[in-house]
Chains A and B, each alone.
Chain A
Amino acid sequence: MIPNFTTPDVAAPGVAASGVFVPETACSRELYLPQAARLLEVEALTARESRFKVELPRPLGHRPGQFVMLSAPGIGEAPISISCGPRDDAILEMVIRRVGTLTRFLHELEPGQWVGVRGPFGSGFDLGDFYGRDLLFVVGGLGMVPMRSLIQAVMATPDRFGKVTLISGWRTPADELFRAEVQSWSRLGEGSGRVRVIRLVDDTAKLPWDGGVGLVTEPIADLDLDPERTVAALCGPPVMYKFVILELVARGLAPSRIFVDLERRMRCGVGKCGHCQINHLYCCQDGPVFRLDRVAHLPEALP
């Protein structure tokens, strides 16, 4: 047998005396290993989307804008945004749209059943970039899901921020997510005028609707907005970014004050599988939240 396996270069960090390589930290051994999480609640929000609340063995310790790799053993694994603000307990909230194999399976689960969770992964938002500023959130559809983790964090201590404006766009009224919660945010600002919410649909589809009709780009031109004081955060379908950014830049917002939360296909979440690349960057590691001036020059960032 090979007597002594100490290939010095590669194995040095974790070579045990026996010579068999043992990864140094538990974390390393667990790179692809989920932890079991118990489903506490599943609540249908729309015909396609449900809110999932799970309990982990220990708090995630996440930042707003981060994501987890969620799995059902035997079915598969997918990146899913963390939809709740930072918290001390071990609860994780997600909103999942039924689109394919795994998500369909998840929608069949009931409280008390188990899933697997890896993470949190990704850069996320840094609240330090938002303190003391006027905030503008622009979301389209499911983009509301990760943005909610940031807005919840902001709404937890609204006095630390300036004015807050949220523009949300939905296909139809039936697609709107978190209506009650968004209304509670806008009530927070009632009187002071510090929170403004603009809710839009592409089409009312003959349903009752108390918001406006149009694209999320449209209200930007008329916003009461001080470009020197404002920081914007965007999340939505791929087509949304370019047009919103054009409007924001037209209002004098510097790219260094615009944050974009980008979606790419992801298989590993840890910078190894190659699927999420945006030119030389890895969306799962360097993103999914990017400051616009750091990616605006990359042709694959905002196609």
Chain B
Amino acid sequence: MGAFLVRKAAVTEWIRSLAREQPLFFPQPVGRSGFRFQPLREGSEVRFDHYRPSVVPPGRQLTPAGEVLFRYRTGEGGVPGFESVLDASPRILAGVRPCDLRGIYLMDRVNREGRDDPHYLTRRANTAIIACDCLAPCDDFCFCETVGSLRWREGADLFLTSVDGDFLVEALTPLGESLLPGTGFARCEDVAGLRARAEEVRVRPFGRHFALSPERIAAILPGLWRSPVWENCGQRCLSCGSCNLVCPTCYCFDIQDDFDISDPSSGDRRRNWDGCLLPNFAEVAGGHNFRPQPSARQRHRVKRKFEYLVGRLAEGSFCVGCGRCGRQCTVGIDIFDIVSELVAVAEPPP
């Protein structure tokens, strides 16, 4: 697969030309300090640096809120007909950072676990990803290195690394290769050398670090079911669910029907993002709630990311260390702090 050393201006021009051919989502500044993945238009800025994670992770493009699962129509004799809706329109996600790339990789796994989810996988198969390496932490919330996301490349079709003011552009898949311009990019022979060069300037240590590895964290969590740490963060939590909504590896959903007001015999079934921090997430008929307290829901979230899914899928930490949940929480609950406290309780520093 090809690798090229390209001037930044040429990369920008190339991204712009791709965006003219199909929807290309690129993180763009919105409001004062937020970023959003949205279609790149003529005149929008293309900047790979000065990056802060978008509020909503790019992977959410693959499960858009309110996506239609199927349409129904009541036919002759009242018999309902159902038609599955799959979105196979091509798109490119560009400017995806390693943590979010790993998030998408994990969602690929989840959606192929057991039965394939045709809606996600169809969109995913028609999505090309242009990822970009991080050489400095985006801000103080970042902890991607400690959970194994910083050097993640799998799932990207093209991977960009900034080297001395230019970009090393590596095609990782045939699809990635096919997105490169025919000529104009100078082939680069010494990929290893350039990557080593980028590694030299990468900030070290990168972002915040846990005192234990993800494997050890998964191993100590079962013994911490009754830790006071849950109650402490549960007491502050407002159960707003923002931490779920911004997380690249939260994928729980709810399903709702919608009928066409002008023709009630037809309509669709949709799915919407849901979150395990919301109070009635685990409530059943009769009113019994299996996680009534915020502390039980916090524990579930943390154990899901750091223990349950780790054991179930054997893909390492399900928290990719993007820092979004901590950045977003109005009362300052940060999953990094929760896990650090748990680690300190289980294995106090000597």
Nearest to A141 among chain B residues (CB) is B286
A172 in the interface (beta carbon within 8 A): no
Q: Which of B72, B122, B281 contacts A21 (CB 8 A)?
A: B122
The count of A-to-B residue pairs whose CB atoms sit within 8 angstroms is 195
Most chain B CB atoms below 10 A, which of A8, A38, A300: A300
Query: Could you tell me if A280 and B127 are in contact, using CB atoms closer than 8 angstroms?
Result: no
Query: Could you tell me if A2 and B257 are in contact, using CB atoms closer than 8 angstroms?
Result: no
The A102-119 residues at the B interface (CB cut-off 8 A) are 112-114, 116
B201 in the interface (beta carbon within 8 A): no
Nearest to B73 among chain A residues (CB) is A73
Set of chain B residues within 8 Å of A264, measured between Cβ atoms: 282, 284, 290
Query: Could you tell me if B285 and A100 are in contact, using CB atoms closer than 8 angstroms?
Result: yes
Query: Could you tell me if A36 and B79 are in contact, using CB atoms closer than 8 angstroms?
Result: yes
Contact with A along B87-101 (1 / 0, CB 8 A): 010101000000000
CB distance from B112 to the nearest CB of A (A): 8
Q: Which of A33, A99, A278, A280 contacts B307 (CB 8 A)?
A: A280
Nearest to B304 among chain A residues (CB) is A277
Query: Could you tell me if A7 and B157 are in contact, using CB atoms closer than 8 angstroms?
Result: yes
Set of chain B residues within 8 Å of A8, measured between Cβ atoms: 173-174
Most chain A CB atoms below 10 A, which of B155, B269, B304: B269
Contact with B along A249-284 (1 / 0, CB 8 A): 000000000000001110110111111011110000
Nearest to A74 among chain B residues (CB) is B259
Query: Could you tell me if B308 and A73 are in contact, using CB atoms closer than 8 angstroms?
Result: no
Query: Could you tell me if A238 and B124 are in contact, using CB atoms closer than 8 angstroms?
Result: no
Known contacts A2-B178, A116-B80, A267-B255; A31/B282 CB under 8 A: no
Interface bin, chain B: 35 or more
A274 to B269, alpha carbons, bound, how many Å? 18
Nearest to A77 among chain B residues (CB) is B255
Query: Could you tell me if A2 and B92 are in contact, using CB atoms closer than 8 angstroms?
Result: yes
A35 to B213, alpha carbons, bound, how many Å? 47
Set of chain A residues within 8 Å of B284, measured between Cβ atoms: 263-265
B175 in the interface (beta carbon within 8 A): yes
Query: Could you tell me if B114 and A299 are in contact, using CB atoms closer than 8 angstroms?
Result: no
The B280-308 residues at the A interface (CB cut-off 8 A) are 281-286, 288, 290-291, 300, 303-304, 307-308
Interface bin, chain A: 35 or more
Query: Could you tell me if B90 and A73 are in contact, using CB atoms closer than 8 angstroms?
Result: no
Query: Could you tell me if B174 and A274 are in contact, using CB atoms closer than 8 angstroms?
Result: no
A263 to B86, alpha carbons, bound, how many Å? 31
Set of chain B residues within 8 Å of A274, measured between Cβ atoms: 251-253, 274, 276
A97 to B22, alpha carbons, bound, how many Å? 50
**Residues of B near any A CB (own CB < 8 A):** 21-22, 69-70, 72, 74, 78-82, 84, 86, 88, 90, 92, 108, 110-119, 121-122, 124-128, 154-155, 157, 173-175, 178-179, 225, 251-259, 264, 267, 269, 271, 274, 276, 281-286, 288, 290-291, 300, 303-304, 307-309, 311-312
Instruction: Give 7 A-B contacts (CB < 8 Å), ordered by A residue.
Output: A15-B125, A23-B116, A23-B121, A31-B118, A36-B82, A275-B281, A280-B311
Minimum-distance CB pairs A-B, first 7: A21-B125, A274-B252, A11-B125, A280-B308, A74-B259, A23-B118, A73-B72
